[in-house]
Amino acid sequence: MIDIIKQSILYKTGAYLSKMWEQSRIKKYFASEGGKVAANSRTYHFFCFALNALHGFSMRFGDRVNSVVEESSLVSDSLALGRRAAAYFKASFLCRLIERISEVEFNFSDLRLYHITTFLLVAAAPMVPTMVCAGIAVITLLLYLLDMIRRKEALYSPGTVGFWVVLLIVIFGFFAFFSLTPKSSIRIWILYSAFMLFIFPLIKTALSADRLCKIASIMTFSGLLVSLLGIYQRFFGDNFGHAWLDKEMFESITVRVYSTLENPNVLGEYLLLAMPVCAALLCTRRTWLSRFYYSGILITMAVCMIFTQSRGCWLGLILSAAVFALFVDPRLVVLEILALFALPFVMPESIITRFTSIGNVNDSSTSYRLFIWLGTLNMLRDFGIYGIGLGSDAYNKIYPFYSYSAIKAPHAHNIYLQLLCETGITGLAAFLATIWAALKKTLIAVVESEKTFTGVFASAVFAGLLGFLLQGAFDYVWYNYRVFLIFWSVVALGVSAGSLIGKSKEDALCRQQ
């Protein structure tokens, strides 16, 4: 398996880029006398002074916060009440039942406030309004900062991924303030920033295999609720499900489900991220009861995915399943191929017709996207280098002048074209670098881990992100802000898995020495 990965184009590309960095003038400069000159410069000393001053202030502020917390009767009474409630729940039959079914143990001994809000946001993200998610994210960030200051701990930095995420936020901010529609773009940037910065408390929360498993279980249960609602829509009718169908070409398809996410494609994109997480739990459970539970959830999600009628998401799911099987057990790939050949004999004709229509320009949905892509490419000739600003408002201010057949569109129906339009070459390059860093860290965890939950979970995240990015070629997968939040949450969980594998290797080396 490791040899296959090392022979892959992805691995060779990474090795080539690493080699280029090692030989670059930038690295040689900082490793040579030039680096010493930079270290002795006034600019360097100014930043060192500023950082030291900030560190000193945070330490004094931490002491102050700690004394206020210790002296506050409201805080102490609330914590005492929380401990009693946790002890009562731990001793209840419901807790024992959940632990037995899910194989997840409830442990409240080292739980901090931002851990609780992190779990809450992971659970609520696909089911509550965007602004509720934003409020929980901001509260989590504030609690995280206060907790780090109070305990005088360093803010956790996930290395390269954290750097690229912060840089991407800065780039988005630049294109928000200098947008053609700055008012709406700045609002979008604030929302983006809150959701992207959420990865830091999430990574810190998931820096143990036990908590990582808890978060995966919570995400899976939310996926079950969302999928059940989608299946309910399919069988009990829906007034809006016809809006995303070519009625002449697909007369036998009565409705496309969207559950809590307002659009069938958005629901499919969410399931692309949630289903691999459920598969990782299924593959690592020990009891038959737990396997039955997660199998039921995975089947429910798969049925809901079919009812979305989202062809791009179906392709993404096929890619995710193939990659996940390749990492976990290559023999499963053979079973998946056989299953694909068997599907035409067991699936309804309407589903087969829908799938085989991929690329058929007679389908109004396909031709609609094709014309939008052509219009966007025409627009990129003038704005592709420096961008026009964040959001649909900026896009729609320019796109009508370049559209084909007078087709209106809220976005480019392609995340890569959309980022080029909004943020130019700079934003797209930063996004690709961020994704590359996250995928690389996750892939290293897959290669270096054994068949533990963390390793299998890293495989699931890697596979899910690849499927999601494939769907990004057919739709603007960030159009729904909650899916945007869930995407960065999954990225954060992949980084956590990589960090856990690295930490376990370091611990093993220390024990050997």
Q: Are 214 and 123 in contact (CB under 8 A)?
A: no
What is the per-residue pLDDT for 209? 87
Alpha carbons 456 and 283: distance in angstroms, whole number: 8
More confident position, 27 or 394 = 394
What mean pLDDT do residues 93-122 have?
A: 84
Helix H or strand E encompassing 207: none
Residue 386: how many other CB atoms lie within 10 Å: 13
Q: What are the C-alpha distances in Å from 256 to residues 232, 248, 253, 305, 311?
A: 11, 15, 8, 10, 12
Say which residues have a Cβ less than 8 Å from residue 457's Cβ, sequence separation at least 6. 212, 213, 216, 277, 280, 284, 493, 497
Alpha carbons 77 and 380: distance in angstroms, whole number: 59
Q: What is the chain's mean pLDDT, rounded?
A: 81
Percent of the chain with pLDDT over 90: 47
What mean pLDDT do residues 246-271 have?
A: 77
Q: Are 182 and 176 in contact (CB under 8 A)?
A: yes
* pLDDT tens-digit readout, 353-407: 777 777 666 677 788 888 899 999 999 988 888 899 999 999 999 998 888 877 8
pLDDT at 83 over 80: no
CA 128 to chain centroid: 17
Which range among 379-393, 474-488, 494-508 shows the weakest confidence by mean pLDDT? Answer: 494-508
pLDDT at 94 over 50: yes
What is the per-residue pLDDT for 25? 52
Indicate the pLDDT class of residue 153, thresholds 50, 70 and 90: low
Q: What are the C-alpha distances in Å from 457 to residues 213, 282, 376, 386?
A: 9, 10, 37, 38
Q: Are 490 and 220 in contact (CB under 8 A)?
A: no
CA 243 to chain centroid: 28
Q: Are 469 and 435 in contact (CB under 8 A)?
A: yes
Alpha carbons 502 and 496: distance in angstroms, whole number: 10
DSSP letter, residue 155: P
Which range among 362-371, 468-477, 491-500 shows the weakest confidence by mean pLDDT? Answer: 362-371
pLDDT at 352 over 70: yes
What is the per-residue pLDDT for 279? 95
What is the per-residue pLDDT for 33? 45
Please tell me the pTM assigned to this model. Answer: 0.82
Q: Which residue has the tokens 């700055």?
A: 182
Q: Are 35 and 29 in contact (CB under 8 A)?
A: yes
What is the per-residue pLDDT for 27? 45
First to last CA, the chain: 29
Which range among 185-194, 451-460, 467-476, 483-492 shows the weakest confidence by mean pLDDT? Answer: 451-460
Q: What are the C-alpha distances in Å from 168 to residues 175, 430, 506?
A: 11, 6, 30
Which range among 192-196, 314-318, 381-385 shows the weakest confidence by mean pLDDT? Answer: 381-385
Alpha carbons 273 and 305: distance in angstroms, whole number: 12
Which range among 107-116, 382-391, 486-495 shows the weakest confidence by mean pLDDT? Answer: 107-116
Indicate the pLDDT class of residue 21, thresholds 50, 70 and 90: very low
Q: Buried b vs exposed e over 122-134: b needs ≥16 C-beta within 10 Å? A: bbbbbbbeeeebb
Helix H or strand E encompassing 320: helix 311-328
DSSP letter, residue 242: T
Angle, helices 331-346 vs 311-328, to 10°: value is 150
Closest Cα partner for 245 from 98, 139, 368, 371? 368
What mean pLDDT do residues 106-111 have?
A: 74
Burial class (CB in 10 A: 0-12, 13-18, 19+), 53: exposed
Indicate the pLDDT class of residue 511, thresholds 50, 70 and 90: very low
